[in-house]
Structures are given as structure tokens and as C-alpha cells.
Amino acid sequence: MICDKENHASIYDGCKLSYGKMLRYNHNDMEGLEKQLQKVPETAGALIVTDGVFSMGGDIANLPEICRLAKQYGARVMVDDAHGLGVIGEGGRGTASYYGLEDEVDVYMGTFSKSLASLGGYMSASAAVCDYVRVSSRPYMFSASIPPACIAVATEALHTMKEHPEIVDRLQEISAYMRSKLLEKGIRIRLSETPIIPIFTYDPIRTLQIQKELYENGVYVNATLPPAVAPGECLLRVSLMATHTEAQIDEAVDIIADVLSHYDLEAPAEIDFDSLI
Ligand SMILES: Cc1ncc(COP(=O)(O)O)c(C=O)c1O
């Protein structure tokens, strides 16, 4: 298993459950990925696993290069598109569609718990791989299946997504609007291309204080703390919905700017800010 260091915690758990060996490369560092691929013995199978849209940073995996390297080194590619489905690609079809690489991804999986507003998840792969997972995945085999109500919600959400691709366009539009408004106010954000917009707050305690103050003023954002990120790289994660309006965003950005102005938000000296963007 060859993992991007910013992969979601569930991927790390999956790697442990595989009893295989895990190698990691720095976030979106394709030279690092190639170096790790070179370490894989010829007799071993190699699976590159990556978030499609990274859950903390909101940035998109460099799938074209990942797929090219996979071909070159005889590895397979698995994409966890929890945050890509309903967000990027044609009509919200996700990261592989965004790059036109649907046929290059060997295992495509995600969850129903984000854009589909339900619980559970899916995996799509060749029949042989799906059959293998059915009989060898411990969580699949030894836990109860998803309640029918969750399946119904996810199915209906998929239908809505298919019938109303404009919802996905609107999500992109409102996300770009919020990014531009935050940047106008001089707020340091990670330049994602998705509705996940991270605001740098660095220190864990300060991050929680700001989150609380924002909440008390009517703005809900997620605090991203260790172990999801390294100490000193904490974030407030803004997540948008297609139903947010420009007026709501204007109001939220004013509140965010006002609350942040009461804090000293200099990056710790040891952090290379540019490397985080
Ligand atoms: C990339 C990624 N994969 C998997 C999951 C797990 O999703 P669930 O909570 O629906 O199992 C998440 C949830 O945060 C995620 O961000």
C-alpha cells in the first residue's frame, strides 16, 4: 500500500487491516511517490491509495500523474472519493471524471455520508476484486449491513444529483465566491478548488477558541486538530452547500474576519507557509 501522507484516517486503518506493508509519500509529492514505487519488490503487488479530494485540505489528488506512475511501475490505483462525489467532475461524478480518467482507476470507493446525506459507502472495481473483497474484508463480513432507509436516502440523492447537475455547478460557484471574499479580507486560506476551504489557525487551543467564538456569533466551522493534522498546522475547515446564498456568505465572512482580527494569527516560525497552500 502506498499512501499520500494526508490520506484519511480510515485509509490508514484499512492498510493495517490488510496486513500488508505501507509506504507513505509527502502530500501530493509525485517524486516521493515514484521513490516509494521503486522500493516495491518485483514480486509484490502494489496499490496506490489516495483521497480524490483531500478531506482536510480540500485540494485534489494529482490523479493523472498517479495513474501514469502506476502504469509505469505495474501498480494499481485506489481512490477514496468521499469528498469528490457530488462535488467535482461531470455532474458531480467525482475525481476520476474531473480528469477524464474513469478507466484508469482500479478501485473507486466513497461514502454516502457526505454529499449523499446518508450513511454507509460503496466500492466499485472489477468483478474479481469485488468478489475478493466480499469474502475477505473483515468489516464487510462481520458487521451488519446498511439499514434500508440509508440506502433509500443515498439512492434518492444520487437520482437528484443526476437530474439536477446545476446543483453541483452552484456548489462550485458559491465556493469560489467564498474563497474570493475570504482572500479580499486578507484571511489566510489553503487555495482549494472545492467546497472545503481551510483557514489557517495553526495552534490547537487558539483554533478551538476561534471555533467557539464563531459558533457563538452564528458561524459553524469544523476545527481540524491533531491527529488529523500536525500540531502547529491546525485549521478551521469551512464546508459549503449548494443552498448557501451570497448574502449568507457575505455575513459569514464579515463575522469570520471580525473574530479573527482579535487573534494573533502569525504562522509559527518553523512552518513554511508556502508549502501548506
Ligand atoms: C476521505 C474519507 N474517507 C472516508 C471517510 C469515512 O466516511 P464515513 O464516516 O461515512 O465512514 C471520510 C469521512 O470523513 C473521509 O473524509
Query: pLDDT value at position 191?
Result: 85
Query: pLDDT value at position 192?
Result: 86
Residue 59 near residue 75 (C-beta atoms within 8 A) = no
55 flagged as catalytic: yes
Query: pLDDT value at position 227?
Result: 84
Work out which ligand 1 atom sits closest to the CA atom of 114.
Answer: 10
Q: How far apart are CA 40 and CA 107, in angstroms?
A: 20
What would the DSSP string read from start to end of the chain? -EEETT--HHHHHHHHHTTS--EEE-TT-HHHHHHHHHHS-TTS--EEEEESB-TTT--B--HHHHHHHHHHHT-EEEEE-TTTTTTSSGGG--HHHHHT-GGG-SEEEEESSSTT-SS-EEEE--HHHHHHHHHH-HHHHSSPPPPHHHHHHHHHHHHHHHH-HHHHHHHHHHHHHHHHHHHHTT--B---SSSEEEEEEESHHHHHHHHHHHHHTT---EEE-TTTS-TT-EEEEEE--TT--HHHHHHHHHHHHHHHTTS--PPPTT--HHHH-
The Å distance, Cα 119 to ligand 1 centre, comes to 10
Question: How many beta carbons lie within 10 A of that of residue 227, not counting itself?
Answer: 8
Question: Catalytic pick from 8, 27, 83, 181?
Answer: 83
Which of 4, 6, 7, 8 to probe ligand 1 with, by most ligand atoms within 8 A of CB? 8
Q: Which of 262, 90, 210 is nearest to 198 (CA)?
A: 210
The rounded Cα 202 to chain-centroid distance in angstroms is: 19
Longest dimension (CA), the chain: 58
Q: How far apart are CA 56 and CA 4, in angstroms?
A: 13
Q: Which of 189, 21, 172 is nearest to 90 (CA)?
A: 172
| One-letter identity of residue 18 | S
Question: Catalytic pick from 8, 27, 55, 118?
Answer: 55
Asked whether 8 lines ligand 1 (CB < 6 A), one says yes
The Å distance, Cα 239 to ligand 1 centre, comes to 14
* Residue 52, CA distances (Å) to 81, 108, 118, 200, 257 in order: 5, 9, 20, 22, 30
Q: What's the whole-model pTM score?
A: 0.91
Residue whose CA lies nearest to ligand 1 atom number 16? 55
Asked whether 118 lines ligand 1 (CB < 6 A), one says no
The rounded Cα 205 to chain-centroid distance in angstroms is: 24
83 flagged as catalytic: yes
- 76-80 vs 107-111, strand pairing mode: parallel
Which of 81, 113, 122, 151 to probe ligand 1 with, by most ligand atoms within 8 A of CB? 113
Question: Catalytic pick from 8, 27, 97, 114?
Answer: 114
Residues 6+ apart with CB under 8 A from 177: 246, 249
Asked whether 61 lines ligand 1 (CB < 6 A), one says no
Residue 194 near residue 175 (C-beta atoms within 8 A) = yes
pLDDT per residue as tens, the chain (277 positions): 999 999 999 999 999 998 999 999 999 999 999 999 999 998 999 999 999 999 988 999 999 999 999 999 999 999 999 999 999 999 999 999 999 999 999 999 999 999 999 999 999 999 999 999 999 998 899 999 899 999 999 999 999 999 999 999 999 999 999 999 999 999 999 888 899 999 999 999 999 999 999 999 999 999 999 888 888 889 999 999 999 999 999 999 999 999 999 998 776 666 565 555 5
The Å distance, Cα 20 to ligand 1 centre, comes to 21
The domains of the chain, with CATH numbers, are 2-162 (3.40.640.10), 165-276 (3.90.1150.10)
Residue whose CA lies nearest to ligand 1 atom number 14? 55
The Å distance, Cα 41 to ligand 1 centre, comes to 31
136 flagged as catalytic: no
Asked whether 237 lines ligand 1 (CB < 6 A), one says no
Query: pLDDT value at position 276?
Result: 54
Q: How far apart are CA 234 and CA 271, in angstroms?
A: 11
